Structure 1
Amino acid sequence: MRQPKNIRVDLAAMVDLAFLLVTFFMLTTTLSKSKAMPLAMPDDGPDRGQVSDKRTVTLCLGSNNKVMWYQGLAEKASPAVVDFTKAGLRKVLIENRD
């Protein structure tokens, strides 16, 4: 009776090829370019940074879809609480946009 021969496959060449392919694709791949939004800054002038209290609205996000908002400085304001509906935050922002 014959004994089966022990067959051994050398995979060293395949491993080398795999590393060469990985290295090739890593070096030739271009990553996506970051897309940034342009930022418009005000011109330099004597009144730069001066904003009327009536033109500022502060929004503080809270729990349970509630938003506390006030107009002007925090010391002089009386905060109100609204939600994210049409009759809530949207109405506040539309009324105070001027």
Structure 2
Amino acid sequence: MAEINTSHVAGGKAGGRRSKKLSTKVDLTPMVDLGFLLITFFIFTTTMSESKAMKLFMPDDSNPKIDMTVAQSTALTVIPLADNKIFYYHGELNDALQSKSCGITTFSERDGLGKIVRNKQAALDKMGPGKRKELMLMIKPSPESNYESVVNALDEALINDVKRYAILDITPEEKNVAAAKSVTAQ
């Protein structure tokens, strides 16, 4: 703590008083201790908060014998577009367009992508027990989509416990159909 030393002069002369010069001494030891405590605290808390990452499994390209075919009944394709819109279709694109099992949705909690995935899982459950695990979610980002949309689609896969999903390249036909559906949805 800071100290101020004053000396008392015994006896004084009659007349004018002289101002006494006081010596000041500031003890900085507690401030150094506090600084080290703060440094220690911030170092400790930054090492405790580590980033978390989602596991992304990619197919092995070195073995061409692996069959990557998916049944139409278990396939759900999602194409993130601009403005957080999503074009989706079930099975193959041409069959989905004919049967009108495609559409535009968003990431809304009530009736967005999550609801589409849950409806697909419920339809697979009706087909037989254990079919839900065969759902294959294919995410095909369009050039107009942003990174956040892809991450949100992956989050929906994690939230809805979709075990099989993949990020694929969009075909020119899918790109044209998605753009046309996006324009008509506005």
Q: Which TM-score applies when normalising by structure 1?
A: 0.47
Higher relative contact order structure (alpha carbons within 8 Å, sequence separation ≥ 6)? 2
The structure that is helix-richer by fraction is 2
Greater Rg over alpha carbons, structure: 2
Normalising by structure 2, we get a TM-score of 0.31
